[in-house]
Amino acid sequence: MTTTPSGSGERLLHMIRLIAAGPETFSLAEISGRAELPMSSVHRLLKTLEKAGFLERGAGQTYRHGRELQRIASLIVSRFDIGRCAQAVLETLVRDFHETAALCVYSPPTRKGVIAEAVLTPHPLRFAIEKGAEVALPWGSMGHAILAYLPPAETELIIRMENTGPLTGRPRPTRQILEADFQRRFSKATRSWEASV
């Protein structure tokens, strides 16, 4: 932290940020150290947050996220429209590459990708995909891009669920082919990320 927050309002906001970004349970000493504030000040702020329901007492001398903090976070998340956030990026991709661009997100309950947003190229010969469409992950670049970042156990389960391609009827790629594709995508994304930092 570069400057210590001054005033009770700033300090309270600072504490909420630290609590939201930190571990679910913490002690007074831990949060005081992270806040770079005296323990007595942090204790008063924690009491205020506990009274408002933002914190609850945990086991021993620990605190944990309170129901009110979780309720507010849930309200914010429920109103977050990932498709709307991606719209400008997708439009830029279509403009620059003259191809359809889509944002596909992973749905854990179905173990499939779901098209959260799509922007179609104006060209008459195009890849057309509808918002809300499900994508089987072992086939195609969208599915492979998602599988490359899932935990290995989840990836293995998804691969075993799908035996034949939904469009071609061909058998799924071998594990070695998928692994090579995952490695290529992961290393390309890592290089791109490192170049942007």
Q: Is the pLDDT of residue 174 over 70?
A: yes
pLDDT band at 129 (very low <50, low <70, confident <90, very high): confident
* Mean of per-residue pLDDT scores for the chain: 84
Q: Identify whether the C-beta of residue 69 lies closer than 8 Å to the C-beta of residue 53.
A: yes
Q: What was the pLDDT predicted at 197? A: 43
- Name the segment(s) of the chain with CATH classification 1.10.10.10: 8-76
Amino acid at position 124, single letter? P
User: Strand pairing partners for 176?
Assistant: none
Q: Is the pLDDT of residue 187 over 80?
A: no
145-172 pLDDT, tens digit each: 888 888 888 888 888 887 777 667 777 7
With 0-12 CB in 10 A as exposed, 13-18 as middle and 19+ as buried, what is 121?
middle
DSSP label at residue 111: T
pTM score: 0.55
Q: What was the pLDDT predicted at 185? A: 65
17-46 pLDDT, tens digit each: 998 888 888 999 999 999 999 999 999 999
Q: What was the pLDDT predicted at 140? A: 79
Tokens of 128: 């057309």
Q: Identify whether the C-beta of residue 60 lies closer than 8 Å to the C-beta of residue 25.
A: no
Q: Is the pLDDT of residue 13 over 50?
A: yes
Q: What was the pLDDT predicted at 192? A: 52
Q: Residues of the chain with pLDDT > 70: what percent?
A: 90
Higher pLDDT, 197 or 185: 185
Q: Which CATH class is domain 8-76?
A: mainly alpha
50-67 mean pLDDT: 91
List Cα–Cα distances, 78 to 62, 72, 103, in angstroms: 29, 10, 19
